[in-house]
Structure 1
Amino acid sequence: MSFSIAELFSQHSTDKFDLHEQHLNNQMVRVLKTIGYDRHYKRAIGQYLYDQEGTEYLDLLSGFGVFAIGRNHPTVISALTETLTLELPNLVQMDVSVLSGLLAQEILKTTPDNLNKMFFCNSGTESVEAAIKFARYTTKREKIVFCEHGYHGLTMGSLSLNGEDIFREGFGPLLPGCIAVPFNDLAALEKALSNKDVAAFVVEPIQGKGVNVPDDNYLPEVERLCKKYGTLFVADEVQTGLGRTGKFWAIDHWNVKPDMICMAKALSGGFVPVGAVAMTQKIMDTVYNRMDRAIVHGSTFSKNNMAMAAGLATLHVMEDEKLVENSMKVGTDIIDSLNAMAGKYEFLKEARGKGMMIAIEFQSPKSLKLKAAWAMLEAANKGLFCQMITIPLFKEHHILTQVAGHGMNVVKLLPPLNLTQKDRDNIVNSFDKAIADTHQIPGSIWDLGKNLAGHALKGKK
């Protein structure tokens, strides 16, 4: 009897919500149905999704940054198909693989010159877990410093560095010795490091939750302070890396040299999970310092041929299609165009970010009628206003976006890096219309706002 994924998908493509309600996270299904995101997607190409009616959606989330080169890129599909048909030896545990060596070589060509060793794993959170362990072993210190509102993953070690309480609540006790400091606050960081007992400072060059961009002197001073107090500087580039911010690595905007870079997401091409840590020779040689320690830290599937092939093909596509340069050019244009609207819309505070890591922040207006409407939403649930932007963008303009984090009035864009000028115009014009509608009181958009507020208040009860 033959087995066909295509046949299974065809038979059950409209069953997914029932299947999830029965066997998986039914709360996620409730969320999607409540806000009207319960679509049945049948196809995905590049930056676009297509539902069962053939409606095209511009995906500005790209799987939380996974699909930096777009969905179902033919070059990566070809590489994976070829890998499957070659009958290569794979995961021979008493051996080392060719493809992992090649991928390590290619990645290290892009990193600062002080990094010349790689460790592969399966995800961003695994890369952070590895960085924590490597930092502790290398420095013989226990403490790890991280930033408030930072995000580094959801496994226990990385969760201990998570700066958002909603992710941490109820999962303690977490890893001891983890200390939070405010992002972009050098005085607080120096105070935390000054006892010379901190193994590592783990920081996103640009914070994902809210897209918080540091002052220009922040990361250079972070590097200096870490060296001064013997602390390893770990850049978490899981989201910001591989062209997302218009440079290959976000740290390149400030010309700093961390001791480790954590990476994942875009490296996979969107097909096979892959994460990694780039590090100095000293860290690698300290952790793996004897033959009996050759397997002291690892991950069973980490260097599998499919993941390594996906990574190699993804790097090829990024260079061949000049996606890093496109990220800077089109992303900067989007940010500038949105900021140009701030003068005519009271709710719009600013657009910010770098490359195609973009935040659009909203604020309390000055005029009384708008201010009262804003206060009504904030009283029901802080940050609810953004749903009055994202829901119409999705339903009316077929653009997929998200709120940047819990309790904040920020919409976040993490689009594929291959956006065209046509996509740029669509984004700017659609935001213009969606923001304009919120300034019309009374209006249909505020009927939506009242419904959202009602759901939020019921949820609190």
Structure 2
Amino acid sequence: MGTVAARKNFKLKGIEDALEMSDKELERNYKEFINPYFLQLLKLLKLNKRFKKAKGIKLWDTNGEEYFDFLGAYGAINLGHNNEDVIRKVNMIRETPNLIQTAIQPLAAILAENLAMITPGDLKYTFFCNSGAEAVEGALKLAKIATGKHRIIYCKGSFHGKSLGALSVTGREKYKKHYGPMVPMNTEVEYGDITELRNAINYYDDIAAFIFEPIQGEGGIITPPEGYLKEASELCRDKKIILIADEVQTGFGRTGYWFACEKENIVPDILCMAKSLGGGIMPMGAYIANKQVWKKGYGSLDKCLLHTSTFGGNAWGCAAAIATIEVIQEEELELAAMEKGEYFISQLKSLMEKHNILVDVRGQGLMIGLEFRNASTSNRLINNLLGSHNEMLNEYFGGMIASELANKYRIITAYTLNNPNVIRVEPPLTLTYSEIDYFVESLESVLKNFKGLSGMTIQTAKNLFAKIDREA
């Protein structure tokens, strides 16, 4: 395979083959060509579902079983799956050139103008890319060139992406330890601790930017203390430090506002966005900066192309983003997220009073975190049976609860990357109150039957750790 002779004898497969592929063939391809251990993890958690159809919050598997997507691709499906308005608008440009780098593009121009209208304050110039990590990379580079400084202050528990620059300002060692050295001159502070931030800002004189999430997503849906972001913003203004808001997960109505930093009237110098920007149809990312910062960074002929992206601002992606913004505005989905989120959170908090394994419900709008007491402390039987593997069990405990919801109640969720005891709930903003009630009732059933969950946890964990031990 890969040689000229092999290519001559190899029959390429097409879309039809993918649609008709058997489950056995699908798993074989994952093992041979994608990621066999990811497949293995999904199978152990019984999350290796195969879906053939999606609409709104609903998914259908190959057996015709209906599921409810309360994960929403980590906040990327704010409009629901396969939104018809977005698809219809994208189909309007089928004959439009998608990629021409040496020309001006009207769809990018309109999208950039719209973003300047809906983002906070004086944000003006937009750079288009394909993902949240790329948006963060571009924002970090802009901050450094605009200030002539290089230190970035970031928060413990943060998640800004897994490319090297973004990873260097991500606050979890698990994702960094194999890839060192990181990009140098980054300083970590405790999220929500204004004193620690102030001390860092006063100590260093080489700070280019402070990057933050208005709500930490992968950190476990962590909201900062009231007033923290406002005071952090003022500290940065006083010291002429660029303020970067990472709204990749919180943007476009998710938290009850167009952008979460609006809650405290924060106006960052640079704002990163992605995920739902493409309406769940196209991969789209961007960062937007105010005029002063952008001009200091790229405001001349010799510097205007220092940072570029081959697919950034492509016509199809821009069309999807324009349509997404229109749908959110016309349907007032940010207000719907706030109202439904208040109801959802109140119903979930009522479960905490009945079930002590659920230790916290937090979030804003339809960005909600459910934190569970970890397996080793919540169940003595698990602790005795699994012994030295307890620490690893905690890494997958949220996934095991997600497995129970998926397999018994057909509800799709997932744990947060930086806190595996937290299940994230980020459904489409278009969900109904009856769908919220179904989620709450299903979760209550899981919590009521925790002994059954313990049995599932033990068996799943034994299978997982036996496999790990064999490969050690």
The normalised TM-score by structure 2 is 0.91
More moved, 49-58 vs 110-119: 110-119
Counterparts of 2:406 and 2:98 in 1: how far apart (Å)? 42
- For the 8 Å contact 1:384–1:452, the answer to whether it is kept is no
Match of 1:270 in 2: 280
Match of 2:407, as an amino acid? Answer: K
Match of 1:328 in 2: 338
Match of 1:342, as an amino acid? Answer: M
Match of 1:305 in 2: 315
Q: Which runs of no fewer than 5 residues in structure 2 stay unpaired?
A: 1-11
Match of 1:169 in 2: 177
Change (3 A) 1:13 1:330: farther
1:133 aligns with 2:145: no
Counterparts of 1:178 and 1:41 in 2: how far apart (Å)? 42
Counterparts of 1:446 and 1:238 in 2: how far apart (Å)? 35
- For the 8 Å contact 1:380–1:453, the answer to whether it is kept is no
Instruction: Map 1:19-58; keep pairs closer than 5 Å.
Output: 19-58=29-68
Match of 2:250 in 1: 240
Instruction: Map 1:73-92; keep pairs closer than 5 Å.
Output: 73-84=83-94, 87-92=95-100
Match of 1:154 in 2: 162
- For the 8 Å contact 2:382–2:458, the answer to whether it is kept is no
Instruction: Map 1:77-226; keep pairs closer than 5 Å.
Output: 77-84=87-94, 87-194=95-202, 195-209=204-218, 210-226=220-236
- SS of structure 1 residue aligned to 2:362: strand
- The one of 11, 23, 28 equivalent to 2:20 is 11
Counterparts of 1:370 and 1:157 in 2: how far apart (Å)? 38
Aligned positions, number: 451
Change (3 A) 1:13 1:109: farther
Match of 1:420 in 2: 432
How far has the Cα of 1:435 moved from its partner? 1.0
1:394 aligns with 2:406: yes
Match of 1:141, as an amino acid? Answer: K
Change (3 A) 1:230 1:454: same
How far has the Cα of 1:375 moved from its partner? 4.3
Match of 2:443, as an amino acid? Answer: F
How far has the Cα of 1:227 moved from its partner? 1.1
- The one of 260, 263, 288 equivalent to 2:298 is 288
More moved, 397-406 vs 302-311: 397-406
1:354 aligns with 2:364: yes
> For the aligned residues, what is the CA RMSD?
2.1
More moved, 384-393 vs 54-63: 384-393
How far has the Cα of 1:332 moved from its partner? 1.7
Match of 1:356, as an amino acid? Answer: L
How far has the Cα of 1:118 moved from its partner? 1.2
- For the 8 Å contact 2:382–2:454, the answer to whether it is kept is no
Change (3 A) 1:369 1:21: closer
Counterparts of 1:302 and 1:385 in 2: how far apart (Å)? 38
Counterparts of 1:428 and 1:411 in 2: how far apart (Å)? 13
Deviations 1:373-413, CA, capped at 9 Å, x for gaps = 46457455225443442121100100011112355421111
Match of 1:160, as an amino acid? Answer: S
Deviations 1:173-197, CA, capped at 9 Å, x for gaps = 1101111111111111112111332
Match of 2:3 in 1: none
How far has the Cα of 1:91 moved from its partner? 2.9
Counterparts of 1:155 and 1:13 in 2: how far apart (Å)? 34
Change (3 A) 1:364 1:136: closer
Counterparts of 1:374 and 1:337 in 2: how far apart (Å)? 29
Instruction: Map 1:365-404; keep pairs closer than 5 Å.
Output: 371-373=379-381, 375-376=383-384, 378=390, 381-404=393-416
Counterparts of 1:422 and 1:322 in 2: how far apart (Å)? 20
Deviations 1:348-395, CA, capped at 9 Å, x for gaps = 112110011100112369xx9955246457455225443442121100
Change (3 A) 1:388 1:120: closer
- For the 8 Å contact 2:233–2:266, the answer to whether it is kept is yes
Match of 1:316 in 2: 326
How far has the Cα of 1:92 moved from its partner? 2.6
User: Which runs of 4 or more aligned residues in structure 1 lie more than 3 Å from their structure 2 counterparts after TM superposition?
Assistant: 3-6, 368-371, 373-380, 455-458
- SS of structure 1 residue aligned to 2:329: helix
Counterparts of 1:277 and 1:405 in 2: how far apart (Å)? 23
Q: Identity rate of aligned residues, in percent?
A: 32
Change (3 A) 1:418 1:292: same
More moved, 93-102 vs 143-152: 93-102
Change (3 A) 1:364 1:77: closer
Counterparts of 1:335 and 1:234 in 2: how far apart (Å)? 29
Change (3 A) 1:221 1:6: same
- The one of 426, 450, 453 equivalent to 1:445 is 453
Counterparts of 1:320 and 1:263 in 2: how far apart (Å)? 20
Counterparts of 2:84 and 2:379 in 1: how far apart (Å)? 49
Counterparts of 1:445 and 1:156 in 2: how far apart (Å)? 38
- For the 8 Å contact 1:124–1:265, the answer to whether it is kept is yes
